[in-house]
Amino acid sequence: MPKIKSYVPSWLNEPAPGHKLFAPSTDDPTLPNPQAFSNRTKLGPRRTIARRGTEVFVAVGKQIRWGNLVHLKDSWESKQSKSIFGSRFKKENSNGSFVIFESRFKKEGSDGSFELYDEEAESNHPQNGAASEGYRVIKTPVADEIRQLVMSPNEDYLAVLTSHTVHICILPDSSHLTAPDATPFRPKFWTLGPTTHVTSRSAVSSAIWHPLGVNGSSLVTVTEDSVVRVWELSAADRWSFDRPTLAIDLKKLADGTYLDQDFSASTSTTNTGFSPDSFDMEAVSACFGDRRSGGWSPMTLWVAMKGGDVYALCPLLPSKWSPPPKLVPALSVSVVAKVAATEDDAETSPEAKRLAQQQLDWMADLDGQEPRVIDGLPGEPFTEVYTRPSRPGAVPKLQGPFYMELAPEPQQGDDADLTDILVIGEKISTSDLMFGEDVDLEADEDDDGLSLSVICLLTVSGRVQIYLDIDGVQAQWLPKKSARSDAYTLDSEDDFPSLLSFQTLDTLTPAEMSAPDNWPVFSTDATSRYSFFVTQPTGITFVSLTPWVFRLEAELQAESEAGSKFRIDLLVKANGSTREKVYTQKREQGSLAASVAIRDPDLGYFILSASYQAAVAVFFDAPEDEYTPTIRQASPSPAYDDEEDSKPLTMWDPRPYFHASGALDAGLHLPQLIDNLKTGRRKPLMQQEVRLSAATLEVFADSHRVVSADIHPLNEAVAELFRKCEALQAELREQIGKTNEVRHRVEHISGDDVEDDEQPVSDDAHVRNRLGQVRSRQEELAKRMQRLKGKLGKATSRELSDYEKAWMEELRALESNVLGTDEAVKAPSSSKAKAVPERLEVIKKLKDDLAAQIARLQKPGEAEEEEPPSSPAPNSYKVPLEIKKAKYAQVRTLLDRESALVDAVKSRLERINVG
């Protein structure tokens, strides 16, 4: 949820030049009066603000006003800074006195010299008028109040809509609008459909630029009689503005059974007969999915009817269209997979097989084309232009009305009427696109999101209904008349598509619904396509779907089915969409125009709207990105947790800009009444004394009625101004209190808060004291961590690993073999190694034998006596002395090695017993 930083800035308020963008025009009698709005007979959306980068176009009455917000802001702030620091100065005279003189600044000439000039006189120069302030008036050929401004995707066309007419403005470059000329600018205007969109025909509900149009030049208009027209505009061809390239009457298409029927709109203006579809199919709004969406969403037109029904046309394309690079390959993969699935499934209905075959024919026609390559916008890649496939046909099947599953209880009366529709298309599935390939396609940031389309509906009562397109709208056509076996039937299951109701939000209170010009509308956000704004006559509400969109996508993509019901229950019961009313105004101030979200490094992140008197803006904290440098927050010190709050103190809370009531500036009707009395039949009464008579009573009654009508709004305006002044005093006291608290904090840090009789403490002492407290706290935490580690090690009883268990078995076997324990543990058998006790006995025996031999060698006489009788005589053979010495040394070496081995075995057995 974005945090509100501030409201309307000073450079959009009076007397700044930015205020001229939204100020009412005094010479235009067509401007509505907010107090007398009930006299207007036509209700509809009010989208009177369009943007092109940092430039805005604002419709006021019959004229359009252009302004560069960055220029307006910089020029006003520069002017304010100069007025503060250089408006008046004191000059000291020779006698020591001071005089005040007006500011004069030095201006550098062409020759390098400087001259003094007056800033106020320079700003009022005829050549430095509105154009130098980033403001310009655009003249239009419209004959009625402008209701909507719709900017084209490439920002070179501007659709200007009244209640019944549509005009296309060829937008000039910004350099032409900033030229040093204060006169109104007259760009090139084209009237769209001079015989189609006229006052004698049905009113225009929506005008949408097709997201797949070539260079953003394809416009789709939807009228209240549910007629959809596709216009392919070209500034070089004037006939492209006269007739649409495709016109579809949805009432005819709803009753159609074959593709060969005529579904074009009727050109007759005399056919005004009764039809039930005139009430059930009264279109109020239409929209496409975003160009970045996947599947069939960018070419699906969603139409909302006033009664609550929703229809879809897919695919609706101009004769020449340019898809994004990933769209055609992704559609080809999905169509081929669908055809293969229908052929392998024996239970597939004939209707589903026919639709799959139609999609395959449409894709085959598209794949057989050689696209024409044209240059895109500066800095963007080239664009491929395709021709609309002729098979199966140009007119798609009308899908709907959609059945709303699990929808809430419908409202009664006019409160259930729809006013707007917003569709957030599904994301492009790059995994399906690169299935079977060795290289993965890099996903863009725009590919993140939900793999389902989200449809949002808005009612007159301000209720936002959020639906999910679970089945997915795909391309469908009616069968051809020659295909008798595949004839289209109204009882088919595919003729009853459905949308799953996910959530319902209320954005208006019952008291706010009674506004005479109540027509809520949607506005997209500049930070995320899963958040939007709802603009009502009395305020603006922010709605975000991000709390559940990505969690739902994770559940849809989960491969494991274990616990899916539990997780889905948590998703449903968890926090859903977030909503917050970011701006509120009184009904007396008039209706608000549809808000426009702007995000720019020079301006910040804010929404811009307008009432009939002034601008409305709400600035938010921008998300952390390239515009906002990341600031590393220092961790709070535990020693100062009790003394200071870790959060910074807010000096002031943002408040909306106060606009005084228009009744204070409006003229009175009493002077007009006096003039009428002086020239009317009651003229003699004005020249004589007051006498009690019927004529005098009539004059007093009329005067009382007029004076009461004039005084009542003045009393309300003065009372409101008085209450605002009292509130301002309270806010000022609160701000002074917060400022005083900040002052105490600063004095506490700097050491200036000590009393007179106390010894002042330097900053170095404060820092050293705090550093000592931090170190002591760190040592205490380290000791506590060591104690916890010891307790945790003792309390932990984890299972032994397989290697530890094998090592224990080996030790037990070795113990049983060496010490001869009673445990029947058998060590792993080895063909090359003997048991340890046997080896020990052999070593002892060899030691005894070798010791006896050594003794015999040292004492030959004694050795001969000890020889058994059967031994041969020593004189039978002679051994040299050198050989005897070598053998002796070899025996000593073997004895040492055996002794070392025995000692090592003993020490190892002792360590095992101790362990």
Per the model's pLDDT, the better-predicted residue between 680 and 248 turns out to be 248
Confidence of residue 110 (pLDDT cuts 50, 70, 90): very low
Residues 866-909: tens digit of each pLDDT: 445 454 554 555 677 888 888 888 888 888 888 888 888 888 88
Question: Per-residue pLDDT for 829 more than 70?
Answer: no
| Cα–Cα distance for residue pair 797/785, rounded to 1 Å | 20
| Cα–Cα distance for residue pair 730/527, rounded to 1 Å | 36
Per the model's pLDDT, the better-predicted residue between 448 and 129 turns out to be 448
Write the DSSP assignment of 150-213 as a string of letters.
EE-TTSSEEEEE-SS-EEEEEPPPHHHHTSS--SPB--EEEEE-TTTSSTTSPPEEEEEE-TTB
SS3 category, 681: coil
| Closest residue by Cα to residue 624 from 616, 615, 633 | 633
Q: What integer best gives the mean pLDDT of the chain?
A: 78
Per the model's pLDDT, the better-predicted residue between 841 and 274 turns out to be 841
Give 20's Cβ-side CA count (13 Å radius): 18
Question: Per-residue pLDDT for 773 more than 80?
Answer: yes
Per the model's pLDDT, the better-predicted residue between 656 and 742 turns out to be 742
Question: Per-residue pLDDT for 577 more than 80?
Answer: yes
So what's the pLDDT on residue 757?
59
Average pLDDT over residues 394-411: 85
So what's the pLDDT on residue 648?
53
So what's the pLDDT on residue 533?
95
Question: Per-residue pLDDT for 117 more than 50?
Answer: no
Alpha-carbon torsion (882, 883, 888, 894), positive or negative:
positive
Question: Per-residue pLDDT for 121 more than 70?
Answer: no
Confidence of residue 599 (pLDDT cuts 50, 70, 90): very high
Phi-psi map region of 749: left, alpha, beta (phi>0 left; psi -120 to 50 alpha): alpha
| Closest residue by Cα to residue 102 from 81, 84, 78, 86 | 86
Question: Per-residue pLDDT for 33 more than 80?
Answer: no
Average pLDDT over residues 100-104: 44
Average pLDDT over residues 93-115: 46
Q: Domains of the chain: which residue ranges?
A: 668-730, 801-833, 838-914
Highest mean pLDDT among 311-315, 687-691, 833-837: 311-315
Question: Per-residue pLDDT for 163 more than 50?
Answer: yes
Residues 46-69: tens digit of each pLDDT: 999 999 999 999 999 899 999 999
So what's the pLDDT on residue 317?
94
Write the DSSP assignment of 616-635 as a string of letters.
EEEEEPPPSSTTS---PPPP
So what's the pLDDT on residue 626?
43
| Peptide bond connecting 497 to the previous residue in cis, omega within 30 degrees of 0 | no
- Stretch among 194-198, 225-229, 772-776, 879-883 having the lowest mean pLDDT: 879-883
- How much is the pTM? 0.72
Which residue is associated with the tokens 């009753």? 255
Measure CA 69 to chain center.
Answer: 23
Question: Per-residue pLDDT for 120 more than 50?
Answer: no
- Stretch among 43-52, 452-461, 700-709 having the lowest mean pLDDT: 700-709
So what's the pLDDT on residue 35?
44
Per the model's pLDDT, the better-predicted residue between 362 and 515 turns out to be 362
Percentage, residues of the chain above pLDDT 70: 74
| Cα–Cα distance for residue pair 659/849, rounded to 1 Å | 121
Residues 744-761: tens digit of each pLDDT: 877 777 666 665 556 666
| Cα–Cα distance for residue pair 44/278, rounded to 1 Å | 18
| Cα–Cα distance for residue pair 837/815, rounded to 1 Å | 11
So what's the pLDDT on residue 590?
75
Per the model's pLDDT, the better-predicted residue between 218 and 756 turns out to be 218
Question: Per-residue pLDDT for 310 more than 90?
Answer: yes
Average pLDDT over residues 190-209: 91
Question: Per-residue pLDDT for 831 more than 50?
Answer: no
How far is residue 672 from each of residues 103, 677, 688, 901, measured CA to CA in Å?
46, 9, 20, 130
Gap between the terminal Cα atoms of the chain: 63
Which residue is associated with the tokens 């252009």? 66
Highest mean pLDDT among 265-274, 370-379, 716-725: 716-725
